[in-house]
Amino acid sequence: MSGTVLVTGGAGFVGHHLVNKLLNRGDRVRVMVRGSTDTRLLDGLEVELCQGDLTDHDSLRGAVRGCSRVFHCAADYRLWTRDPSQLYVTNVQGTHQLFEACLEQGVEKVVYTSSVATIGIPADGTPGDEETRVGRQHMVGHYKRSKYDAEQVAFHFARRGLPIVIVNPSTPVGPGDAKPTATGRIITDFLTGRMPAYVDTGLNLVAVEDVAEGHLLAEQHGVIGRHYILGNQNLSLRQILELLGELTGRPAPRVRIPQLVAELIGHLDTFVRGKLLRIEPRVPIEGVKMARKKMYFDSTRAATELGFRPTPVPEALGRAVEWFGSHGYV
């Protein structure tokens, strides 16, 4: 395949690593950005920036025009917002409009960045995989529900004939987490001594560079209409904090907060900061509720069908620590 490659969300955490890999491969890359987008992660890269918005169909048609492949990484991943309907406008309606434009323009391949938020978590604590069923009614919070709905849009367009492959990254860590993500906040809170305790939960961590590579593998080897978990190592939050302690020489917190207490804190913080002060809570209740289950996943399908071979998680955490330290977060 030849032609320009469009990346939505290309100025973001995962997206800018994907852009770098596409450029290194020799592709011509167009990145769709909104007027308010911070593009510093793209500084110095030979990319074409085009103005566009997932809520504006005409701008999407212009962004897609002349592109043979599209990587749709853009999403609103906030766990709290004053107006939850915006999550559905961006993540669901925006995805539908973009894929409609791709179908109209005859795009040869689309890779859609979904999330493990759409994957079920078995009740017995074993890792979930692509076949672990979950209903929308069991989704915790608007972010998860909006991503679930968006993934259903992707499956719908695959059935309509759009050559689309779906990837479900777990929890990326590494350099370039500028906002930062919820996991990035865990790292920065640890580094700045603002994490005196932890809850008994768990995450599947993966290097952000490997997630970007997984997108290319999905483009090259993925089956149309199929989805692939891009993850690596399942770790409890305590294990993650202990790894950070080994990397930095700082003591990991030893106090475990019961889930009930954590949820009370989340409700209080969401009410005071979110409802009264109308600012983003530090402990949004939807995030605390997600911690009820260890979010462990199995990437065997990606390994077998795509050749996905992620690098060690401790190295990714080390790169994240170094990046946050050198960019003024600590």
Each residue of 45-55: pLDDT tens digit?
A: 999 999 999 99
pLDDT for res 42? 96
What are the φ/ψ torsions at residue 292 (nearest 5 degrees)?
A: -60, -30
Burial of 24 (0-12, 13-18, 19+ CB in 10 A): exposed
pLDDT for res 106? 96
User: What are 239-260's pLDDT values in tens digits?
Assistant: 999 999 999 999 999 999 998 9
Mean pLDDT confidence for 14-29: 98
Q: What's the CA angle centered on 312, arms 200 and 325, to 5 degrees?
A: 75
What are the φ/ψ torsions at residue 255 (nearest 5 degrees)?
A: -90, 125
pLDDT band for 38, please (50, 70, 90 cuts). Answer: very high
Residues 6+ apart with CB under 8 A from 64: 6, 70, 98, 101, 102, 104, 105, 107
d(Cα 255, Cα 238) in Å, to the nearest integer? 10
Mean pLDDT of the chain: 94
3-state secondary structure of 84: coil
pLDDT for res 75? 94
Beta strand pairing call for 233-236 and 202-207: antiparallel
Q: Where does residue 176 fall: left (phi above 0), alpha (psi -120 to 50 degrees), or beta otherwise?
A: left
Using H for helix, E for strand and C for coil, what is the string for 142-191?
Answer: HHHHHHHHHHHHHHHHHHCCCCEEEEEECEEECCCCCCCCHHHHHHHHHH
Q: What percent of the chain has pLDDT over 90?
A: 80
Q: Which helix (H) or strand (E) holds 112?
A: strand 109-113
> Distance from CA of residue 132 to its chain's centroid?
19
Q: Which two tokens stand for residue 325?
A: 């330290």
Residue with tokens 């759409």: 118
Contact (CB, 8 A) for 173 and 231: no
Q: Report if residue 63 sits inside a domain.
A: yes
Neighbours of 1 (CB within 10 A): 10
Q: Report if residue 184 sits inside a domain.
A: no
d(Cα 256, Cα 235) in Å, to the nearest integer? 16
Q: Report if residue 247 sits inside a domain.
A: no
Which position has the higher pLDDT, 231 or 293? Answer: 231
Contact (CB, 8 A) for 120 and 298: no
Q: What percent of the chain has pLDDT over 70?
A: 99
Contact (CB, 8 A) for 117 and 74: no
pLDDT for res 270? 86
Give Rg (Cα) of the chain.
19
**Number of C-alpha atoms within 13 angstroms, CB side, residue 70?**
29
Q: Report if residue 251 sits inside a domain.
A: no
Q: Report if residue 72 sits inside a domain.
A: yes
Mean pLDDT confidence for 75-87: 87
Q: Report if residue 181 sits inside a domain.
A: no
pLDDT for res 247? 97
Total domains in the chain come to 1
Q: Which two tokens stand for residue 75?
A: 């999403």
Q: What's the whole-model pTM score? A: 0.94
pLDDT for res 31? 98
Mean pLDDT confidence for 60-79: 94
> For position 102, which CATH number holds?
3.40.50.720
Predicted confidence (pLDDT) at residue 279 exceeds the cutoff of 90: no
pLDDT band for 2, please (50, 70, 90 cuts). Answer: low
d(Cα 254, Cα 257) in Å, to the nearest integer? 10
pLDDT band for 160, please (50, 70, 90 cuts). Answer: very high
Predicted confidence (pLDDT) at residue 1 exceeds the cutoff of 60: no
User: What are 203-215's pLDDT values in tens digits?
Assistant: 999 999 999 999 9
pLDDT band for 265, please (50, 70, 90 cuts). Answer: confident
Domain ranges, residue 53: 4-174+205-232+297-303
Residue with tokens 């795009």: 107
Q: Report if residue 186 sits inside a domain.
A: no
Q: Report if residue 240 sits inside a domain.
A: no
